[in-house]
Amino acid sequence: MSANDRPTGQQQTSTVAESAFLKACRREPVPHTPVWFMRQAGRSLPEYLKVREGIPMLDSCMRPDLVTEITLQPVRRHRVDAAILFSDIVVPLRAIGIDLDIKPGVGPVIAEPIRTRADLQRLRPLEPDDVRYVTESVGALVGELGATPLIGFAGAPFTLASYLVEGGPSRNHEHTKAMMYGDPQLWADLVDRLADITAAFLTLQIEAGASAVQLFDSWVGALAPADYRRSVMPASAKVFDAIAGHGVPRIHFGVGTGELLGLMGEAGADVVGVDWRVPLDEAARRVGPGKALQGNLDPAVLFAPREAVEAKAREVLTAARDLPGHVFNLGHGVLPSIDPDALTRLVEFVHTSTQR
């Protein structure tokens, strides 16, 4: 069954360009508030666990048949307003030859961390031929999705650098910060190389048919604003500049970024993703005019009873009431142990309570 066999949020519209999601990103009037979820594909879905059985995470990202199926699963089930490509932020790094794996229950683990100038040589530019499976997957998905937009994505330079320098997930980012503060030139060269890789990865997804892209800077909330401005913003801005000419909405997301929202807006995105710690009306003041916002229900709220979820979702919608562009999402990814029916009900709630 393709995603089009079931009604989705775009039932009334017939093209991707007229979808509620893209309209909201462009800050145009919408028929209803569009909704999708970060990490909507994945372990919360039994149909995902079934097709992934026995197949390592990175192998599954390299198989267009699986990528297509897994990307479509949450669109069919939840009737979200956008699909997000099933992949991972470390896919382009592995594609240029970095020895890494995604360990179940841990996340990305790098065999030899990048810590010295000599190590930088291992970060060669990304060529489209390195990730043909991504282009092929995007092309197949665009055919299947019909009027539902596909979001492409990549990791932002800081978040990718953290995995590369630490060697894996990190709470305190100690080696990363040691490099950032101790050898600013090496750090600047590292994030600049990562900006080029990320820009190339997003460009090929857009050229293959992605209707929007999201830059995930998940861990950048670990930085103070002055350090973000000096050491990270130039690289993230380079990514946004490099893809500006394509005219697709560029979404910028991080966690714990309350103090960084203004600078993240300045870095160049069209849509700023907000976690659950800052209400959207306040976030809009911090981000400044001319941007749409995405967010921001606390993902853990979904463990509460239906009435409580709806009350919290209504708070999000109320805070976003006067914004010209709002894409409903969680403040971070779907938690793997959530009951997927809670997500389906939330999509329906957002659609029905914002019908215009």
Give the integer Cα–Cα distance in Å for 296 and 317: 9
Give the integer Cα–Cα distance in Å for 37 and 33: 13
Which one of 77, 130, 163, 196 is the catalytic residue? 163
Cα angle: 292, vertex 297, 298; to 5 degrees: 135
Contact string 332-351 vs ligand 1CP (x = CB under 6 A): -x------------------
Any contact of residue 56 with ligand 1CP (CB under 6 A)?
no
Q: Which stretch binds ligand 1CP (CB under 6 A): 39-47, 199-207, 283-291, 302-310?
A: 39-47
For residue 84, the cross-strand partners are 151
Under rule CB under 6 A, which residues in 83-112 are in contact with ligand 1CP?
Answer: 84, 86, 88-89, 102, 104, 107-108
The residue among 103 and 117 lying less far from ligand 1CP, judged by its C-beta, is: 103
The side-by-side arrangement of strands in the sheet containing 150-155 is 83-84, 150-155, 212-216, 250-253, 271-273, 292-297, 326-330
- Confirm whether 39 is a catalytic residue: yes
The residue among 72 and 263 lying less far from ligand 1CP, judged by its C-beta, is: 72
Torsion angle in degrees (nearest 10) through CA of 51, 55, 59, 65: -20
- 54 backbone φψ class: left, alpha, beta (φ>0; ψ -120 to 50): left
CB of 341 to ligand 1CP, least distance (A): 17
Residue number with the shortest CB distance to ligand 1CP? 107
CB of 301 to ligand 1CP, least distance (A): 17
The residue among 53 and 307 lying less far from ligand 1CP, judged by its C-beta, is: 53
Which one of 81, 88, 270, 275 is the catalytic residue? 88
Any contact of residue 153 with ligand 1CP (CB under 6 A)?
yes
Lookup: tokens for 4? 């089009």
Any contact of residue 276 with ligand 1CP (CB under 6 A)?
no
- Confirm whether 43 is a catalytic residue: yes
The residue among 46 and 184 lying less far from ligand 1CP, judged by its C-beta, is: 46
Under rule CB under 6 A, which residues in 177-236 are in contact with ligand 1CP?
Answer: 216, 218
- Confirm whether 88 is a catalytic residue: yes
Torsion angle in degrees (nearest 10) through CA of 112, 231, 297, 152: -60
Please enumerate in sequence order all residues whose Cβ is within 8 A of that of 328, keeping only pairs 6 or more positions apart, or say none.
33, 34, 35, 294, 295, 297, 313, 316, 317, 320, 350
C-alpha distances in angstroms, 137 versus 147, 158, 223? 17, 27, 35
Give the integer Cα–Cα distance in Å for 67 and 85: 7
Catalogue the active-site residues: 39, 43, 52, 88, 163
Q: Which residues bind ligand 1CP (CB under 6 A)?
A: 38-43, 57, 84, 86, 88-89, 102, 104, 107-108, 153, 169, 216, 218, 333
